[in-house]
Structures are given as structure tokens and as C-alpha cells.
Chain A
Amino acid sequence: MSVKMKTAVAASLSGVLALTACSAAGGSSSEDQLSIVGFSVLESANEPIFEGFEQTDAGKDVTFKTSYGASGDQSRAIEGGLDADYVHLSLEPDMTRLVDAGLVSEDWKENDTNGIVTSSVVSFVVREGNPENIQAWDDLVKPGVEIITPNPASSGSAKWNILASWAHVVGAGGSDAEAEAFVTKLLQNTISLPPSAREATTAFSEGNGDVLISYENEAILARENGEPFDYIVPDDTLLIENPAAVLEDASDAAQDYFDYVLTPEAQADYATFGFRPVVDGVELPEVEGANDPSDPFPTPGTLYTIDDDFGGWADANTRFFDEEEGIITKLQAKTGTEG
């Protein structure tokens, strides 16, 4: 090997070593700093919760480090090594991934709220004044109604929407075949399947579509931000449940924070951002973006849940969203090819 070639090899190696050294120098954490990882909407909703926690005895020396993004992305990031003490995701399968990775305890659901810390309901967002007079699920499948809903295949949280439409038929005593027919009509009226809820809202606010299937909290937040939308909570809808957990290797402060999130004060703060409380005894504030700010969360006539009506997420995910055999996957393919 010539001297010159050796120079080349030596330069390569020293470059690699330098990079290794850089990565080894990173990563240290202080005892009182909590890493909070959550799904996108929480970015603004968590601020008052942090302030409230810092005023408690347990929280007075705690500082927060935060990371927000799409629920699935956040879950994968933690699995891939993102530092986290407390994690708040939009649906259970994203938490299950962390349980499978050994990062969250198997018994994360064993508390008074079944591991759930915020909730909402599937709702319809419509143009101001509701020109198409959308009131119920059956109005969505009328000819010519243009629907936007995030893609259930690329956005985990969009699965709530599709499952709600299924529950609308089956919950009222309909057969699976009738439910499939209904969802098919719904998909035929769907003009856009943006990858996430946030992008679906953006596409809708740009003038696309007559109705956006979304979550009550998203609708309330959009209205608080000045979007000229109305929203309708259908008389029968699905309860959206967002789980949270403390990671296995987190400090005690993380558990204190988790306990604080379930206090009536913290739940009232979440309510101002449109989330329905998950504990009793919450004194509801005025919710500016709600249809009726003084009675922001009217109880729907029938409220389906993933556990009671679908046998839990594990079953529902396989049955409806399996990449090859899922009911919704197949219906999407069918409506797409017949399009």
C-alpha cells in the first residue's frame, strides 16, 4: 500500500472516529427535568398544565423538556431512543408499541381511568352556517356531499373516524354487510385522504370539501384560532380516548405529574382546549370555541367505545386495518378501483 493510499485510509478512519466521539459526548439529564412527549395538539394544551404542576409541592422544582408530533411518529421515536419520562399519545396501539419494546409497564392501564388522560368525540366540521345541513351520519352519504377525512392507513388517529361510522350502523343493530355498504358510500363521497388530522384540517380550510370528519377538540381549537367553521356532534358517535403513561425508567416526578394531570384542575385546563374530562368533579370553564361555551360538551344520545363495541384496539386494528385483509383496507381498495 502506497503512502498516499494510507493517507486516504487514515483520513477516512479519523473522520469516523471524530463522529463517534461527537455522539458519545451527547446525552445527559438532570433529576428534576421531565421529558414530556406528546401528540401534536398538546403543544399548546400542555402549557397551563405545566404551570399548574409547578405550583404544587411535588412540582415546584421540576422543569420540562417537550417534544410534540404525530402520535405514531412520537411513539416510534421513543422506541428508537428519544428520551421520555411521560408520554401522552392519541391512541392505544401507539402505547402498545412502547409496552412491546419494554419501555412502558404492562400494567399501564391499571388506574382509575384505565390509562386514559384526555378524551373527545368524533365530530363533523362544516362550513359556517352548515349550508349542506349535515346533522347525522346518514347526511354524509347523500349524493354529492364531499368528505375529507385523514387517511386511516397513514394516520392512526384517523381510525377513530372510520370506526365511528362503522359503529353507527352496527351499534343500531345493523349487520356487518350493512356497515360495509355504509362505509363504502362514505368512502365514495371522500374526495381527499390527507396523511394526518392536521393536514386534513388545512385542506378543508383551503376550501376543499363540504364536511371534515374530525374530533371535537380539533374543531373547538380551530374555532378558537378564528377558523370560520361550525361543528356538529352527531347523536351517535365514538368516544376518542387518549392514553398516557410514565416510562419504566422515569423518575418519581413523572408519576407525580401523571397524578396531577388527572386532578380536576388539570382536567379543567384541558377542557379549555376542547378535551372532555376523564374524571368526575371537574368544574368546566367557559370553552370559547364550543358551540355553547357554557355547556361545551353535550352528551351524545349514544356513545360507542372501542372496548365495548369493538373488543379493544388490538382486535379492532387487525380486523379493520390489517394491510392485506382488513375490512377497511379492502373497502378502500374496492372504492378506489371502481372509482
Chain B
Amino acid sequence: MTSVPLDTRTRPTRTRRPGHGARPANNLTRGAGLALGISVTWFSILVLIPLTAIVVTAAGGGWDAYVTTLTNSQTFAALTLTVGQSLLVTAINVVIGTVIAWVLVRDSFFGKRALDVIIDVPFALPTIVAGLVLLGLYGKGSPLGVDWANTEMAVFLALAFVTLPFVVRTVQPVLEELEHDVEEAAASLGAGRLTVFRRIILPSLVPAIAAGAALSFARAISEYGSLVLLSGNLPFRTEVVSVRVVTFIEGGNTAAAAAVASVMLAVALFVIVALDIVQRRVARRG
């Protein structure tokens, strides 16, 4: 038992980076070809074509439209608020989400299965309902004696609510697959609990945590429904980007709306790539 090869366990094998050896240009079987065709068609209709349309609309306004839109101080304030709160919420999700996943997988307690099901509620609840519930609980006349409505705290609260499940749900299955043997082996070789966590468990979880964090961040920067009642949409204070975009559309300025949207796409892409790099670094170091 002590001879379990630690190395193969601590370094999760990743299939995304195939070797650079000689590989046929395409090795699709007939079935795989069909699957690829369906995937590409579906993905194009739902994602690639609409995203291209946004970028084209934004570019249609020319460079000037970008500059005017983004140097507008109100838009800039909304961008900073949204990105800042989304990063904060994502950071917190990384910690709390992992802890919740851990508790759900490793511990047994009364109500565990119920909790496991309830975690998904923020996904299922229409966001406007979520906003309404949060407003009733944490707004004026709150039974808890707080009044966070129409403050930055409201933005944080709504984003934390809608993004809670992501890290939990990405980490949970990986944690379930993780074998106790390896941890026991490490422990019997003299590793402390912290070392086991840091050297054995965490590296296996990092890809899942990073994936959850990316989803969580992407969801947070685009949130609209749960915020509109709760945050008050006060310019420079609690107005988020998606509300700003609605404003541009109402004003008939689709180029500005698309410009802001494409900036948010770039921000999302940047954060997702950054998380991927972090994850690879950590996974490689072990």
C-alpha cells in the first residue's frame, strides 16, 4: 500500500495538451464527423454568429464610438463596479464553494442530501424572484436588522447568490473521485494534514476550482435580473454594466451597447485565460 506511485496521482493527466508528435491531420471516423458537424452547426447558430454580430455592430460605430462610450465617466464607473464586485465574488466563491463541496463530499450530517439539492436553487430561480427575496430579507425593514438595499453591498449580495453553485458543482465530482488511499499513503509517509491538502488534494482540485471560478466570474459580470430591484441602479454608485447596456438600447444607441458588450466579452476572455494559466501552473508544480 505504501508503494502507491504518488506522482501519477498528484499530477492530474490533462488531455487538452496532446503531444507534439506526428499526428494525422484528421482522424475522424464517419460517426465522429457527424458529431463534429452537429456540434459546429449548433455552436455557430447559438454562439459564434451572435458574438460575431455583436463585435461587427460595435465596430460599425468605428473607433470613435468606442472611445466616446468608454470614456463616458458613468459607463466607466459601471464597468469598474461590475468587474470589481465580480472578482470579489469569484474570490469568495473559490473559498466558500470549495468548503461547501468538501463538506458535501467528505462529511456526513443530517440534512446533507437536502443541502446537496438546494445548492442548485440559485440556478433554477428566476433572477428577478431572487432579487425580490433578497430585497425583502436584506432591504429596508429587514427581519435581520440590516439595510443593504441600494448600496454596493446589494450588488455583492445578488452576485454572490446567483454564482454560488458554480464552484461547488465543479469541485464536488472531482473530490468524489479522489481516492482516500493516496492521502493515507502520504500521511503514513509522514505528511501532515496541511501538507496532504496542499500537495495531494489541492493540485487535483485546482482545474475544477478554476473552471468554476471562470463560470462564476462570467455569470457575475453579465448579471441583470437579480440586481435591478436590489441595487437601485444609482449612477456612479450601484449601476452595473448590464443596466448601462439597457440604457443604451433604450436610447437607440445600439453601437454603444455593442461596444460595452464587446468590452465585457474581452474582460471575460481575459479572466478565463488568466485562470487557465494559473491552473496549469499550479497543476504542473504540484
Q: How many residues of B contact A (CB 8 A)?
A: 46
Q: Which segment, of B36-44, B195-203, B214-222, faces chain A?
A: B36-44
Q: Which of B37, B237, B243, B250 has the most CB of A within 10 A?
A: B250
Q: CB-CB contacts of A305-339 with B at 8 A, as 1s and 0s?
A: 00000000000000001011000000011011101
Q: Which of A190-211 contact B (CB under 8 A)?
A: 190-195, 199, 202-203, 206-209
The minimal Cβ–Cβ distance linking B134 to chain A, given in whole angstroms, is 10
Contact status B37-A4, CB under 8 Å = no
- One of A6, A16, A153, A206 near B247 (C-beta < 8 A): A153
- One of A2, A4, A195 near B243 (C-beta < 8 A): A195
Contact status B236-A333, CB under 8 Å = yes
Chain B residues in 8 Å Cβ range of A25: none
Give bound CA distance, A154 to B243, whole Å: 8
- A8 contacts the other chain (CB 8 A): yes
- A81 contacts the other chain (CB 8 A): no
- A131 contacts the other chain (CB 8 A): no
- One of B73, B234, B253 near A339 (C-beta < 8 A): B234
Chain B residues in 8 Å Cβ range of A208: 135, 139-140, 149-150
- B124 contacts the other chain (CB 8 A): no
Contact status A5-B33, CB under 8 Å = yes
Q: CB-CB contacts of B53-72 with A at 8 A, as 1s and 0s?
A: 00000000000000010001
- B92 contacts the other chain (CB 8 A): no
- A97 contacts the other chain (CB 8 A): yes
Q: CB-CB contacts of B13-25 with A at 8 A, as 1s and 0s?
A: 0000000000000
Chain A residues in 8 Å Cβ range of B72: 323-324
Chain B residues in 8 Å Cβ range of A339: 234, 236-237
What does DSSP make chain B's interface, helix, strand, loop or mixed? helix
Contact status A323-B251, CB under 8 Å = yes
Chain A residues in 8 Å Cβ range of B33: 4-8, 11
Q: Which segment, of B159-167, B177-185, B225-233, B270-278, faces chain A?
A: B225-233
Chain B residues in 8 Å Cβ range of A8: 28, 33-34, 36-37, 40
Residues of chain A at the chain B interface (Cβ within 8 Å): 2-12, 15-16, 19, 72, 76, 97, 151, 153-156, 190-195, 199, 202-203, 206-209, 321, 323-324, 332-333, 335-337, 339
User: What are 11 A-B pairs with beta-carbon distances under 8 A?
Assistant: A2-B26, A5-B26, A9-B37, A97-B252, A193-B232, A194-B228, A194-B232, A195-B243, A206-B140, A207-B136, A336-B237
Residues of chain B at the chain A interface (Cβ within 8 Å): 26, 28-30, 32-34, 36-38, 40-42, 44-45, 68, 72-74, 77, 132, 135-136, 139-141, 149-150, 228-229, 232-237, 243, 246-253, 256
